[in-house]
């Protein structure tokens, strides 16, 4: 192994360590978010509120688009990611209501 490939391997390992830590943050953050949305789902079911709230979602998308742009993250990706999460939340809300 040349010095250059050894240096590249060390850099790759460092990046992967950071990626693993960030993936853990994502998992814990999502788990925390779902704890709150489960509580929201129970509240909505108890008070006969609809599972989805399009006005709230529009506000979230607008906010996330600004945040993503500021963070140098593709806003379309941020929107798709939020939509994916909310779709799952709405499924949970519907289960609370059935």
Ligand X SMILES: O=C(O)C(=O)C[C@]1(C(=O)O)C=C[C@@H](O)C=C1
Residues in contact with ligand X by CB under 6 A are: 37, 40, 52-53, 56-57, 60, 86, 89-90, 93
- For residue 69, the minimal CB distance to ligand X (Å) is 20
Closest CA to 49 of 10, 93, 4: 93
Instruction: Name which of 75 and 90 has its Cβ closer to ligand X.
Output: 90
**Residue carrying structure tokens 């993250």:** 73
Q: Measure the CA–CA gap between 47 and 50, rounded to whole angstroms.
A: 9
Instruction: Name which of 57 and 75 has its Cβ closer to ligand X.
Output: 57
Instruction: Name which of 40 and 75 has its Cβ closer to ligand X.
Output: 40
- For residue 25, the minimal CB distance to ligand X (Å) is 19
- For residue 56, the minimal CB distance to ligand X (Å) is 4
**Residue carrying structure tokens 């949305």:** 37
Q: Measure the CA–CA gap between 81 and 78, rounded to whole angstroms.
A: 5
Instruction: Name which of 57 and 79 has its Cβ closer to ligand X.
Output: 57
Contact 28, 81 (CB under 8 A): no
């Amino acid at each position: 192994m040349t010095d250059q490939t050894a240096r590249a391997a060390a850099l790759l390992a460092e990046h992967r360590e950071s990626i693993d830590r960030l993936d853990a943050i994502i998992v814990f953050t999502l788990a925390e978010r779902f704890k709150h949305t489960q509580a929201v789902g129970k509240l909505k079911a108890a008070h006969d509120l609809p599972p989805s709230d399009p006005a709230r979602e529009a506000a979230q998308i607008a906010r996330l688009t600004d945040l993503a742009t500021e963070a140098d993250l593709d806003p379309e990706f941020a929107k798709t990611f939020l939509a994916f999460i909310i779709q799952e939340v709405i499924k949970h809300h519907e289960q609370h209501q059935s």
